[in-house]
Structures are given as C-alpha cells and as structure tokens.
C-alpha cells in the first residue's frame, strides 16, 4: 500500500510513495507550487500580519497552466448563510480522528492498527463542535465547478494548504461526508455560544467533514482515518510524523483560517482580452530617483548605499545588499490617498527576494531574476499616510543584491504638460502567463515597447492614440484607445523681476560688478516646471537690466546696459548668462518662493542710468496653480 507524507505546505514539500494517481498529483504539486509563489510574489497578494479567524473566502478558477485566472469571486460567511444551503444544524457535534499510536512487530498489522478500521481510538477527543457551514462543492460552483480528474487547493491565511480531488468534493459517500467550510460553532467550552468567526469562533472558517455515525462504536458523527483511507486516493492521505514513524490522521486535513479555495482545472488557456490603464506622476515620494546622490527623504536599513554602475537608469541607483539574516531596505512615509500605483525601476538577481511592505504588512515579494525594467505596485486600496518599504532579503546562503531607482507615485490620469511621463499598466485578462506585449504609444504602426508595464515620456504637445497587442498560449488580442493621451503645451509666462537699484554704482567703468536680490515670488505645485531666461532675440530688453516706468512700460529708447545680465536662484549657485536659456530653477528645487540674484557688469560706453526702478524679464515654464 502506498502512502504520501506531507510536511509544511502540501505543494512545497511532498514525498509520495506508490499508490494510484501519484503521477497526476505530483504534476499538480509542481504546477501549484510554482503558481503559489507567483501568486504570492508576482501578483502581490496581501498577506495578513497575524493569523486569526477569517470572515470571507476568495475563490479562483485556474486554467490548465495553474496560473491563468479564468474566474474568481470573494464571498463572506454572511453571504454564504443567506444564499447557499447551510449544512449542520448548530447542535449536532462532528468529530475527526486523531493519530492512533499503536505499534506491532508485523508491519502490515501495525499499519492496520494505525488506520484503525474500527475507529474506536482518539475520536471523541477531536470534537469539532456543533457547527454550521457551506458545502465546498457549492462554493466551487460559484466559479464554474470541477470536472472529474481535477483538483482543488484549500489555503489558510497562515500559508498552510491541502489538496483534494474532484471525487472527494463532488462524489463523497455518507461515511466520508461532504467537505464543509464551517463558519459557526456552538459548544466545546472553547468558544462562546453562538460563535461566528468574528464573534469567538477563533478557528473559523474551518474545513470539517460532516461524516455519518455508521462506522465508529460511539454513535457519533465521526470522520475516521479509515473513512478517508477508503474514500481518497493515497496521494491525499495525511500523516502525523513522529521521528521516523507515520500515523494517519484526519485532523490534519481540517484546515483552519481558510482564506482561499483554488480550482486547478484542465480548462484551456483562453485568448487574452486586451486592456490597459495609464497613470501620471505625482510628487509625494521624496528623492525617488536618487539623482541628488544621497538618500534624503529615505530611511535605510543595513547595507543600503547609493551606487553608480551599469545597473542604473539615472546617474545613481540604490544598491541593497542583504547577506543572509540581514535584510537591507529603504522606506519612506507617503500619503497614498489618490495614488494608483507606485512605479520603480529594478534590477534583481535570483539569490533572494525583493519584498515590499506597506506599514508592517508585506504586500508583494518577487524571487525571480529580472533584467533592468520598470515594475509597478498597485496601491489604489490604500489611503492616508503609509510607510512604503523596499527590502532586499536573502533566502539562501548568498548575499542578495538588487538595484532600485526612479521610485515614483502615480495617480490615474491621461493629461498633463509636456514633457509628460506616462506609466502604462497592462490590465489584460488571461495574461498571467502572457508571452508578448506590443505597445504602440502613438498608434503610428511601430511597436515602441515590449515590456508589460512600460513608462514613456511624451515631449511634444498633442493628442495621442495608444494601441496594445497582447499574446498568450490561447491567442492574441488588440485594443486601441483613440485620442487617449493629451499632452498640453507648457504654459509660458514672463515673470517680471523688479527692484530698486538706487544703491548700485551705475557709473560706467570696466570693473564695476554689483549684485542685488530681487524678490521673485513663484509658487506652484506642478509636477514639472522650470524657470529660465529667454534669448534676447525674443525681446531686446530680455536678458538685461532695463529701466522701467512702474506700471507703464520700458523706458523709451530701450536704455539698457551693453553686457548681459547674469542670474542665479540662490546665493550658493553659480551665475548663468541671462541670454543662454539656461534653467536656474526647476521642480527638483521644490515649490516655493525664491529670490533671484542678478550680477551686472558695466563697461565703458554704457549709458548712465539714473536711480529708479529697473527690471529683467525671465521665463517660467510649467503649469501655474
């Protein structure tokens, strides 16, 4: 007789020995194991920080690849009670059988003793209580049900999971009984009366078999070890291990804190249904691109350094080196209200994981190696001030190194001023194992990107249509969104820097250099803006300190000094020529009010300007708030 010893996650560590159905279950174990790590680490499933009773269950139907989601829904226990047949009456107690610790020199006799066909040992001690619940079969039917030969995976919030065959979900006998997700218990003295998962049923929602009372000598409704021996393929047997000894038991099948039921079907992968969204950058993350060469705005943990190398998108990147047992991370508090995704550039290796946390909750973990590209983390479900942490974690004996750059928050949107950076996010259905993405970001017939979630900067004003073609094993699909992106021309205004220069020595000579601070009040919350001086060809007075009649006009005849004005935004900056179109302020300086510094050299031949009001025109480019 074959047996299967299961330790830890059923699909993570499994030893199978003999028995029918082994090859199929082993194949599913491989698929499910891979799928679980992808789900937990690539699809960003939320992981609760503590393990307690669950009040809802997430049902997912997968295609034959074990990754492509065909259908899914989430239902609460209140919805189950109101809309599906209720099993259990809340007064009849149900029992499972624990391990039978009996030995015999004869291996065959010993094995039968432990299976205990009489079901007269360690039964009454395993009272599951007077329960009510919902048939797992009825829950599976909400997402299309199972067919013969297919498998379900019942997963707990703490990561424990158990696999079960179609025959046991749909074709159960009375001695085995239906598999029930219990959400009510009364009795045992372990729970208060009339207990639900959020009112005292601390083990709920729990998987319990509602077997009949025909096998055991006690006349109770007991799901015995021998019941399962006769009902299930050996690959689904569960053993309690003590040393080298294995003891069959059905209590180990009773998963607590059930949060997910996954249907692993033979359905073919459907053709994709193409769709996407776009997001525009915000300004909540401080120093997200690290181009200042430091970590201002960030808190670091262990081996985190700014690094310049080929593994970067800008001048610098954050290198997170995590030896085993010493995770390295960066974190920052961010207001996630109205933030859709956080985009970040990443290069990682397969020596460990990139883990992402919001406050103390791990929301994503990625373990596969990745070439340099942009990634996105969906955060639309959060609001308020949250701590966002990126952590490098070594899962083995090798230091895990990853590089991060351009960490930016994006809110939903399609319109902004040039240059406009757009984060595109693929939202196509059935692309969990997609094989291709082709983005034509201006619908001109040329593929611009082949990554899943590209980032593109539009530099020219205009209206752009966007086309996406996606491909999976089931086929291809294309969506075109017409006039989807609107790029506005930057708003350009002339800013008058006006000031009294009565204190200047305006006598023309060869070495008279004077400077003064002129108040230039610019306040904007735009994500992209700059202040620069325009070329003098646009206006003969630009780029020079010119006499101004307050509230009227330039002085007739255009009196101004021969040499160009030099300008800087702060006393510690370097001067730039006023006719060079050089940027002296931009969004990296932050919104605020600035005093511009002017430097003017007078030379022989300059007109003698009298004391009065003078000004220089400079240009502000961006959106004005």
Rounded to 5 degrees, what are φ and ψ at 207?
-90, 120
Asked whether residue 585 falls in the same domain as residue 563, the answer is yes
Q: Are 170 and 146 in contact (CB under 8 A)?
A: yes
In the chain, % of residues over pLDDT 90? 49
136 within domain boundaries: yes
User: How high is the pLDDT of residue 63?
Assistant: 96
5 within domain boundaries: no
Q: Which residue has the higher pLDDT, 540 or 625?
A: 540
User: How high is the pLDDT of residue 350?
Assistant: 72
Asked whether residue 559 falls in the same domain as residue 607, the answer is yes
258 within domain boundaries: yes
User: How high is the pLDDT of residue 609?
Assistant: 55
The last residue of one of the domains, among 447, 472, 488, is 488
- Overall number of domains in the chain: 3
294 within domain boundaries: yes
The answer, yes or no, to whether residue 525 has pLDDT greater than 60, is no
Q: Where are the beta strands (DSSP E) in 139-274?
A: 151-156, 161-165, 179-186, 206-209, 221-223, 239-242, 245-248, 258-264
407 within domain boundaries: yes
User: How high is the pLDDT of residue 13?
Assistant: 28
pLDDT digits (tens, 9 = 90+) for 289-323: 887 777 788 988 876 776 666 666 777 888 888 89
6 within domain boundaries: no
pLDDT digits (tens, 9 = 90+) for 34-58: 333 333 333 333 333 346 899 999 9
Give the global pTM: 0.66
The answer, yes or no, to whether residue 624 has pLDDT greater than 60, is no
- Residue 605 backbone zone (phi > 0: left; psi -120 to 50: alpha; other: beta): left
pLDDT digits (tens, 9 = 90+) for 234-279: 999 999 999 989 999 999 999 999 999 999 999 999 999 999 999 9
Asked whether residue 164 falls in the same domain as residue 246, the answer is yes
Asked whether residue 334 falls in the same domain as residue 189, the answer is no
The answer, yes or no, to whether residue 372 has pLDDT greater than 90, is no
Asked whether residue 583 falls in the same domain as residue 528, the answer is yes
Q: Which residue has the higher pLDDT, 499 or 420?
A: 420
pLDDT digits (tens, 9 = 90+) for 61-105: 999 999 999 999 999 999 999 999 999 999 999 999 999 999 999
The answer, yes or no, to whether residue 209 has pLDDT greater than 60, is yes
Confidence of residue 489 (pLDDT cuts 50, 70, 90): confident
> 143 CB contacts (<8 Å, ≥6 apart)?
59, 60, 61, 70, 71, 72, 73, 263
Asked whether residue 325 falls in the same domain as residue 462, the answer is yes
Q: Which residue has the higher pLDDT, 386 or 574?
A: 386
9 within domain boundaries: no
> 517 CB contacts (<8 Å, ≥6 apart)?
499, 595, 596, 597
Q: Give the domain range for residue 563.
A: 492-622
Asked whether residue 524 falls in the same domain as residue 569, the answer is yes
The last residue of one of the domains, among 213, 236, 264, is 264
CATH code for the domain in which residue 314 is found: 2.60.120.260
The last residue of one of the domains, among 457, 488, 519, is 488
Asked whether residue 298 falls in the same domain as residue 425, the answer is yes
Asked whether residue 288 falls in the same domain as residue 220, the answer is no
Asked whether residue 502 falls in the same domain as residue 430, the answer is no
User: How high is the pLDDT of residue 1?
Assistant: 30
Asked whether residue 40 falls in the same domain as residue 113, the answer is yes
The answer, yes or no, to whether residue 142 has pLDDT greater than 70, is yes
269 within domain boundaries: no
């Amino acid at each position: 007789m074959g047996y299967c010893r299961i330790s830890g996650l059923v699909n993570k560590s499994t030893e199978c020995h003999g028995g029918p159905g082994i090859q199929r279950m082993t194949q599913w174990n491989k698929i499910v194991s891979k799928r679980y790590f992808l789900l937990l680490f690539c699809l960003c499933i939320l992981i609760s920080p503590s393990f307690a009773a669950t009040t809802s269950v997430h049902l997912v139907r997968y295609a034959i690849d074990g990754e492509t989601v065909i259908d899914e829904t989430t239902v609460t226990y209140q919805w189950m009670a109101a809309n599906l047949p209720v099993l259990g009456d809340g007064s009849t107690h149900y029992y499972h059988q624990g391990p039978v610790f009996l030995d015999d020199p004869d291996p065959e006799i010993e094995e039968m003793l432990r299976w205990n066909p009489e079901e007269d040992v360690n039964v009454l001690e395993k009272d599951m209580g007077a329960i009510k619940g919902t048939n797992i079969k009825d829950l599976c039917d909400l997402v299309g049900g199972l067919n013969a030969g297919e498998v379900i995976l019942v997963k707990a919030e703490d990561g424990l999971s158990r696999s079960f065959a179609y025959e046991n979900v749909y074709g159960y006998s009375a001695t085995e009984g239906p598999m029930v997700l219990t959400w009510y218990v009364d009795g045992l003295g372990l729970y208060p009366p009339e207990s639900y998962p959020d009112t005292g049923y601390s083990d709920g929602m729990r998987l319990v078999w509602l077997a009949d009372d025909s096998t055991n000598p006690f006349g109770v409704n007991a799901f015995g070890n021998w019941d399962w021996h006769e009902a299930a393929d050996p690959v689904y047997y569960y053993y309690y291990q003590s040393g080298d000894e294995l003891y069959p038991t059905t209590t180990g099948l009773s998963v607590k804190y059930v949060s997910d039921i996954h249907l692993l079907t033979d359905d073919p992968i459907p053709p994709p249904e193409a769709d996407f969204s776009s997001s525009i950058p915000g300004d909540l993350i401080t120093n997200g691109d690290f181009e200042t060469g430091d970590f201002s705005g960030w808190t670091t943990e262990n081996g985190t350094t700014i690094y310049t190398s080929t593994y970067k998108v800008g001048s610098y990147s954050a290198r997170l080196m995590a030896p085993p047992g010493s995770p390295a991370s960066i974190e920052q508090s961010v207001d996630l209200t109205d933030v859709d995704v956080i985009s970040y550039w990443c290069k990682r290796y397969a020596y460990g994981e990139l883990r992402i946390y919001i406050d103390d909750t791990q929301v994503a973990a990625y373990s596969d190696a990745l070439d340099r590209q942009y990634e996105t983390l969906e955060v639309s479900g959060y609001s308020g001030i949250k701590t966002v942490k990126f952590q490098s974690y070594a899962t083995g004996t090798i230091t895990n190194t990853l590089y991060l750059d351009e960490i930016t928050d994006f809110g939903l949107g399609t319109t902004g001023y040039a240059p406009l950076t757009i984060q595109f996010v693929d939202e196509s259905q059935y692309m969990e194992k997609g094989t291709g993405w082709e983005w034509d970001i201006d619908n001109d017939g040329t593929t611009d990107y082949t990554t899943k979630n590209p980032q593109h900067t539009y530099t020219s004003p205009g209206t752009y249509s966007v086309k996406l073609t996606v491909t999976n094993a089931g086929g291809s699909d294309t969506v075109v969104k017409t006039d989807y992106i609107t790029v506005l021309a930057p708003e350009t205004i002339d800013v008058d820097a006006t000031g009294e220069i009565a204190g200047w020595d305006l006598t023309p000579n060869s070495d008279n250099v004077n400077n003064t601070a002129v108040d230039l009040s610019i306040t904007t919350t735009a994500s992209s803006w700059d202040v620069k001086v325009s070329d003098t060809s646009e206006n003969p007075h630009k780029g020079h300190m010119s006499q101004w009649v307050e509230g009227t006009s330039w002085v007739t005849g255009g009196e101004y000094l021969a040499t160009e004005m030099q300008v800087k935004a702060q006393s510690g900056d370097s001067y730039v020529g006023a006719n060079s179109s050089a940027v002296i302020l931009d969004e990296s300086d932050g919104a605020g009010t600035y005093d511009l510094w002017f430097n003017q050299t007078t030379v022989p031949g300059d007109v003698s300007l009298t004391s009065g009001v003078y000004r220089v025109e400079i240009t502000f480019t961006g959106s004005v708030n």
